[in-house]
Amino acid sequence: MMDIIVCIKQVPDTLEVNINRDTNTLVREGVDSVINPFDLYALEEGLRLKEQYGGMVTVLSMGPPQAVETLRQALSLGADNAVLLSDIGFAGSDTLATSYTLAKAVKKIGRFDLVFCGRQAVDGDTAHVGPSLAERLGVGHVCCVMKISEVGDGNMTVERMTEEGIERIKLSLPALITVSKGINEPRFPSLKWKVNAARSEIEVWFAQDIGADENKIGLKGSPTRVVKMTTPQHNRQGQILEGSTAEQVTDLVSKLHQAEIL
Amino acid sequence: MGIRIIEEKCKGCKLCVAACPFGAITITEKLARIDIAKCNLCGACVDACKKFAAIELIREETPTIDKTRYRGVWVFAEQREGQIANVTLELLCEGRKLADKLGEPLCAILLGEAVAKVARDLVCFGADKVYLAQSPQLAVFIEEAFTEVITGLIKEHKPNIVLLGATAIGRSLAPRVASRLETGLTADCTGLEIDTKTKNLLQTRPAFGGNLMATIVCPNHRPQMASVRPKVFKPAQRDQMRIGKIVRYNYKDYSLTQRAQLLAVVKGIAEAVNIAEADVIVAGGRGLGCAENFKIIERLAEVLGGAAGASRAVVDAGWVPYAHQIGQTGKTVRPKLYIACGISGAIQHLVGMQSSETIVAINKDPKAPIFNVADYCIVGDALEVVPALIREVEKIRPREQAEPVVTDSKLEHQFALGG
């Protein structure tokens, strides 16, 4: 039996986020919200462990009230329970405040063998929350797991990709792992679970429900501040090569050769 | 904490609307209104409204600590088997500049087993002081043990700034350390400066999939922690004559919790190809048509002695493993030469490669965004251009001179590390 908690985040579909070059602003209109893609791998891995060893999968998310849709989507994939942390007091959280809030919620959920996170969220891209949450829960963690090779009694063996190669790590449970793309192929929602999801009540917890210290949540609990946003400038004077393919290629190689690049 | 429009002063001029990176401001009835749900309190509108000073940003600046007690720029020295990671040398070079600007020492923290020689190297590369923690328990990187030792050192010596490489190790370690210290951490920085007025560290990083660059500060907590992308800064040069101090750190061995244990490292397999370190990268995208055609990318990479990269689209399509993916959700690279073949250049791809020294783009579509970041543009079918390029390169670079990065993709070095 394994009690599993999967942390998921609702993010704008970044493939669709664009910049209005006239105003330098993010164009958000018409951009859909989706489950962070890496979290889908995390959820899939959690569901597979549950199917193999029995137990429960609880999905946990922090976000605005509409993030409930993300949780419902997770239920339609086969999660058993869903909890949304939504409170105006959580707004403006950086990764330190987020991990504090999630840790408080995990402690309220109670017993767990494994917490899963995606390796990073595609909107913030920090990859902080997983390891930070593990620290706050006082458990070991492994990042960017690409394979769970063995689940033993009170421990598991996982593989992670590093610059050097693949590392095989044995980790005692309870623990937290963040998963990388390539670990699995996430499933599609099933009709049975979809019906289930539509009927399910999704619990919404406020700051006081998890006993959060107001100085540690939201903007107040966030040491980092964004002080400036700029649009990156791409100013390379691209040179378009002319002529037939053969001529362009000869031209390119001689230019690279002259510039001592080749 | 908050932001408000001072209505008496607002002229409804829309300058703030244009300045807001989040589209959070609208003008209704000649008055600016801020949608708090969209606002990130970045202050761009306050700067834009200097003339009327109609926007007030209230930041509760309540330092809970005495910042003057925190001194020194620290670099976490990443090493494997006595080999210093390149990013550490880059951090020493950039850290030196920050330390000089602040008039504070540059220190390195080094953990490992029998690495005293490395400590000396770190001095040669610019460290004024090296904190050295040695133990068989620190022979290989384990998150919790390293967190224990590093937080111990930080609590004792109170550095102002702590920098780590945004590598597999740095990205796993930094959040644990920052959480235990309850301080701020900025991920994946590509720019570091000292604010001349406040002396705070200005940390710049890509945000929203690389669509924006965000500058982040940690005004009221110390140390200020940042992980820094590899290959963004120049590496420090060795100076054999440099002198520095090596301080041995004695911690209590029994306090190291070992809930994770490294069983083995499998090296040299094709999937582990380290594109982040390659000098030449040839990358392929959907324009190649099918998985079979990706072979020409690998072949060109081979004759150039480089590595093969890929766009997200072709990794998602299963043509090549994820380890090759370049871009926001893959790897960030900065080779001397980057050749993009059949890649249109979505912003998520561009953020992962646009700081390459020289970029060649090959694409059928003359309007493809990849051409906006390229030095040399070939408008044409990659399937024709790449084979022609292979032939041309082979003329000036006979095969035997090429040095492929991956020597033998089937070779598996496997060794067990301390049980």
**How many beta carbons lie within 10 A of that of residue A188, not counting itself?**
7
B270 compared with A149, residue with greater pLDDT: A149
Amino acid letter for position B362:
I
Task: Give the model's confidence band at A262: pLDDT under 50 very low, under 70 low, under 90 confident, else very high.
Answer: confident
pLDDT confidence of residue B403: 46
Contact (CB<8Å) B168/A38: no
Give CA separation, B154 vs A134, B148, B157, B193, B224, in Å. Answer: 20, 10, 5, 22, 11
Least confident range from B64-68, B74-78, B323-327: namely: B64-68
**C-alpha distance from B245 to closest chain A C-alpha (Å):** 30
Compute CA distances B84 → A183, B81, B111, B247, whole Å.
Answer: 30, 9, 11, 18
Residue B303 pLDDT exceeds 80: yes
pLDDT above 70: residue B409: no
Determine, for residues A131 and B143 on separate chains, whether the beta-carbon distance falls below 8 Å: yes
Specify the pLDDT at position B415. Answer: 35
Whole-angstrom Cα Rg for chain B: 25
Q: Give whole-number Cα distances, A165 to A33, A146, B138, in Å.
A: 35, 12, 19
What are the φ/ψ torsions at residue A246 (nearest 5 degrees)?
-60, -45
pLDDT value, residue B413: 37
Nearest CA in chain A to B321: A182
For residue B405, pLDDT beyond 50: no
Which residues of B fall within a CB distance of 8 Å from A13? Answer: none
The yes-or-no verdict on residue A103 having pLDDT over 90 is yes
Q: What is the mean pLDDT of residues B88-111?
A: 98
Q: Give the separation between CA B259 and CA B169, rounded to whole angstroms.
A: 17
Strands B224-228 and B185-189: parallel
Predicted confidence band of residue A107 (pLDDT cuts 50, 70, 90): very high
DSSP assignment string, B242-301: ---EEEE----GGG----EEEEEEEES-GGG--GGG-SEEEEE-GGG-SGGGGHHHHHHH
Contact B329 A37 (CB under 8 A): yes
Q: Please tell me the distance from the alpha carbon of residue A234 to that of residue B361, in angstroms, as a whole number.
A: 14
Whether pLDDT at B157 is above 50 = yes
CB A49 within 8 A of CB A5: no
What residues of A are in contact with residue B328 (Cβ under 8 Å)? 14, 122, 125
Helix B382-396 and helix A245-258, axial crossing angle in degrees, nearest 10 = 40
B251 vs B195: which has the higher pLDDT: B195
- For B65, other C-beta atoms within 10 Å of its C-beta total 12
**Are the CB atoms for A205 and A81 separated by under 8 Å?**
no
A154-167: pLDDT as tens digits: 999 999 988 878 89
In contact, A210 and A104? CB cutoff 8 Å: yes
Q: Which of B161 and A17 is assigned the larger pLDDT?
A: B161
* Å between B270 CA and nearest CA of chain A: 9
Q: Nearest 5 degrees, angle CA B159-CA B160-CA B161?
A: 95
Residue of B nearest to A24 (CA): B21
Q: Is the pLDDT of residue B404 over 60?
A: no
Residue of B nearest to A11 (CA): B208
The fraction of chain B above a pLDDT of 70, given in percent, is 90
With an 8 Å Cβ cutoff, is A88 touching chain B?
no
- Which residue from A169, A239, A259 is facing B260, i.e. has the nearest CB? A169
Choose the closest CB to B171 out of A17, A27, A127.
A127
Q: What pLDDT band is residue A18 in, cutting at 50, 70 and 90? A: low
Token digits for B165?
């490489």
User: Searching chain A, which residue's CA lies closest to the CA of residue B183?
Assistant: A223
Instruction: Note the pLDDT of residue A227.
Output: 86
**pLDDT at residue B402 greater than cutoff 60:** no
Looking only at Cα atoms, what is the longest distance across chain B?
76
Mean pLDDT of the region B365-370:
94
Mutate to test the interface with B, among A93, A163, A170, A257 (most CBs of B within 10 A): A163
pLDDT at A16: 58
Say if A261 is an interface residue toward chain B (CB within 8 Å). yes
Which amino acid makes up residue A85? L
Give dist(CA B86, CA B288) in Å, integer: 33
Q: Give the span between the Cα atoms of A123 and A17, in whole angstroms.
A: 10
What tens digit of pLDDT does each residue of A51-85 get?
999 999 999 999 989 999 999 999 999 999 999 99
Interface list for A 46-75 with B (CB within 8 A) = 64
CA A62 vs CA A95, A104, A204, B21, B119: distances in Å: 12, 12, 10, 24, 43
Is residue B20 pLDDT above 90, yes or no? no
SS3 A226: strand
Q: Which chain A residues are closer than 8 Å to B178 by Cβ? A: 96, 128, 132
The pairing of strands B413-416 and B260-267 is antiparallel
Asked whether the beta carbons of residue A26 and residue B379 sit closer than 8 angstroms, the reply is no
Residues in B touching A11 (Cβ below 8 Å) = none
Residues of chain B with C-beta less than 8 angstroms from the C-beta of A125: 187-188, 206-207, 209, 328
Enter the DSSP assignment of B68: G
Contacts of B361 (CB under 8 A, 6+ apart): A238, B339, B340, B343, B345, B368, B370, B371, B373, B374, B376, B377, B378
**A66, A160, A193, A8: which is closest to B264 by C-alpha?**
A160
Nearest CA-CA distance, residue B29 and chain A, Å: 21
Residues B413 and B136 sit within 8 Å (Cβ to Cβ)? no
Min distance B175 CA to chain A CA atoms (Å): 5
pLDDT surpassing 70 at residue A19: no
Q: Is the pLDDT at A222 greater than 90, yes or no?
A: yes
Q: Which two tokens stand for residue A164?
A: 């050097």
What is the sign of the dihedral through the CA atoms of B364, B366, B370 and B374?
positive
Lowest mean pLDDT among A38-42, B143-147, B352-356, B410-414: B410-414
Q: Ranked by mean pLDDT, which of A182-196, B30-44, B98-112 comes out on top?
A: B98-112
Tokens of B78: 């990443």
**Whose CA is closest to A135, among B344, B93, B185?**
B185
pLDDT bucket at B69, cuts 50 / 70 / 90: very high
Q: Inform me whether the pLDDT recorded for B399 exceeds 90.
A: no
For the cut 70, the answer to whether the pLDDT of residue A32 exceeds it is yes
What is the pLDDT confidence band of residue B378, given thresholds at 50, 70 and 90? very high
| pLDDT-based confidence at residue B210 (cuts at 50, 70, 90) | confident
Mean pLDDT, range A216-226, rounded to an integer = 92
Question: Sorting pLDDT into bands at 50, 70 and 90, what band is B278?
Answer: confident
pTM of the model: 0.86
Residue B180 C-alpha, separation from nearest chain A C-alpha, in angstroms: 7
Residue B276: pLDDT over 90: no
Mean per-residue pLDDT over chain B, rounded: 88
Is pLDDT above 80 for A126? yes
pLDDT beyond 80 at A48:
yes
Beta-carbon separation of A252 and B376 below 8 A? yes
User: Residue B156: which H helix or E strand, with range?
Assistant: helix B143-157
Does A223 sit within 8 Å of B218, measured CB to CB? yes
How confident is the prediction for chain A on average, in pLDDT?
91
Contact (CB<8Å) A230/B213: yes
Choice between B277 and B132, residue whose per-residue pLDDT is larger: B132
* Distance (Å) from the alpha carbon of B62 to chain A's nearest alpha carbon: 10
Contact B176 A134 (CB under 8 A): yes
Q: Are A131 and B60 a contacting pair at CB < 8 A? A: no
* Beta-strand relationship, B358-363 and B413-416: unpaired
d(CA B136, CA B108): 20
